[in-house]
Amino acid sequence: MKLDVNALRYLAKDDFRVLTAVEMGMRNHEIVPAELVDRIARLKHGGTYKVLRNLLKNKLVHHDATKYDGYRLTYLGYDFLAIKTLVNRGVFASVGRQIGVGKESDIFEVATEDGTVLAMKLHRLGRTSFRAVKSKRDYLRHRRSFNWLYLSRLAALKEFAFMKALGDHGFPVPAAVDCNRHCVIMSLVQGYPLVQVKELQNPDDVFDTILGLIVRLAEHGLIHCDFNEFNIMIDDDEKITVIDFPQMVSVSHRNAQMFFDRDIECIYKFFNKRFNLTSEKNEEQAGSESDDEGNSRPSFLSVKKTAGSLDKELAASGYTRKEQVEMDKYIEEDAERHDSSSDDDDDDGRFC
């Protein structure tokens, strides 16, 4: 469902009260009984049911009468709750055009009262899973049942915490501004996704910079897990900015080496195919090992020996261990989906 913020102006206080009631009910129910929504909202004279019909008409809730008369939030309803909260906080005053669509996110421009333009990212975990139903039936038959709104909120909370911490440690990332539910507000990055770039003035330098960032992250105790040409912004001066962090894991994660090696492989494949760049010149790079073709690549085991503790610092940032476990489960299944679809991705022009 496309975000239409104009509909926000037509929603009354009671509409948001009932939306919030459905959200509260979803803490313990996948489908919230209508009677429970009514009890939580506490509107007079049966007003809850009238409001629910209006919300359903505007696709802010989904109605399910399979087992009982119940409702759940749609992503659009969740969008409106997050946007309303952030506007009330004074974080931004208006929503502009959509500027990006990720695998599991939508990005919009927003503007503050003084005209400063920021970026608003709405996480939409589960979107790629639903799109893959026809081609990945065997995979989906065995997958867990996730609460996608809950996981999207965790992804936003995690991305905001990591973005702020990485920025504080001097990494080239957007400035973290605020976060609510599945929505992250950040500074607007100037430039283009690397995947859109056909030529570089200094491809060797850009390649070295990107590999250096992967290694530097690991030296601080973190693996990006989705480091590819879609998640790297580059400006006209070929300055790099890294985006999209919700799948980051600690170097102590049981699959950390696999994630690290995959990030490295993504960059090698992209630069080799797009810019015909080989890696012989990196053979003297510290903490590297040779691959099957004799090229030198960053070694996870070498980097891990001197890894810092930024991963542990983030554990104290409000992103709890329980929440990390839930996200790790999703990340691992996403890795399985990544592996099962790698051939399809290559056909689509994606190199990792």
334: CATH? 1.10.510.10
DSSP 45: G
Estimate to the nearest angstrom the gap between the alpha carbon of 60 and the chain centroid: 22
Q: Check whether residue 53 and residue 110 sit in a common domain.
A: no
Q: Check whether residue 152 and residue 116 sit in a common domain.
A: yes
**Which member of 79, 226, 244, 334 is catalytic?**
226
Residue 86 domain flag: no
Q: What are phi and psi of 242, to 5 degrees?
A: -95, 135
Q: Check whether residue 103 and residue 122 sit in a common domain.
A: yes
Rounded to whole angstroms, the Cα distance separating 5 from 1 reads: 12
pTM of the model: 0.84
Confidence of residue 17 (pLDDT cuts 50, 70, 90): very high
Confidence of residue 56 (pLDDT cuts 50, 70, 90): very high
Q: Which residue has the higher pLDDT, 95 or 4?
A: 95
Residue 84 domain flag: no
Beta strands in 44-170 (DSSP E): 61-64, 70-73, 94-102, 105-111, 117-123
Q: Count CA atoms within 13 Å of residue 69 on its CB side.
A: 8
Q: Check whether residue 125 and residue 245 sit in a common domain.
A: no
**What domain range includes position 16?**
5-77
Pairing of strands 70-73, 32-33: antiparallel
Instruction: Return the pLDDT at 140.
Output: 36
CATH number at residue 168: 3.30.200.20
Decide which of 162, 187, 212 is a domain's last residue: 187
Which of 164-178, 205-219, 290-304 comes out lowest in average pLDDT?
A: 290-304
Confidence of residue 136 (pLDDT cuts 50, 70, 90): very low
Q: Check whether residue 69 and residue 120 sit in a common domain.
A: no
CB 108 within 8 A of CB 122: yes
> Under 8 Å CB-to-CB from 214, ≥6 apart: which residues?
224, 227, 260, 263, 264, 267, 298
Rounded to whole angstroms, the Cα distance separating 280 from 6 reads: 55
Q: Say what the alpha-carbon torsion angle 41, 44, 50, 52 is, to the nearest 10 degrees.
A: 0
CB 92 within 8 A of CB 82: no
Q: Check whether residue 171 and residue 263 sit in a common domain.
A: no
Q: Check whether residue 179 and residue 198 sit in a common domain.
A: no
pLDDT at 166 over 60: yes
Q: Which residue has the higher pLDDT, 147 or 11?
A: 11
Q: Check whether residue 24 and residue 132 sit in a common domain.
A: no
Instruction: Return the pLDDT at 306.
Output: 73
| Counted domains in the chain | 3
Q: Check whether residue 268 and residue 298 sit in a common domain.
A: yes
Structure tokens at 132: 């893959």
Q: Check whether residue 163 and residue 273 sit in a common domain.
A: no
Q: Check whether residue 166 and residue 264 sit in a common domain.
A: no
Decide which of 137, 154, 187 is a domain's last residue: 187
Instruction: Return the pLDDT at 253.
Output: 87
In percent, the amount of the chain with pLDDT more than 70 equals 79
Q: Which amino acid is at 62?
A: H
Is 311 one of the catalytic residues? Answer: no
Which of 13-17, 172-176, 325-329 comes out lowest in average pLDDT?
A: 325-329
> Under 8 Å CB-to-CB from 122, ≥6 apart: which residues?
3, 75, 79, 82, 105, 106, 107, 108, 182, 183
Estimate to the nearest angstrom the gap between the alpha carbon of 316 and the chain centroid: 21
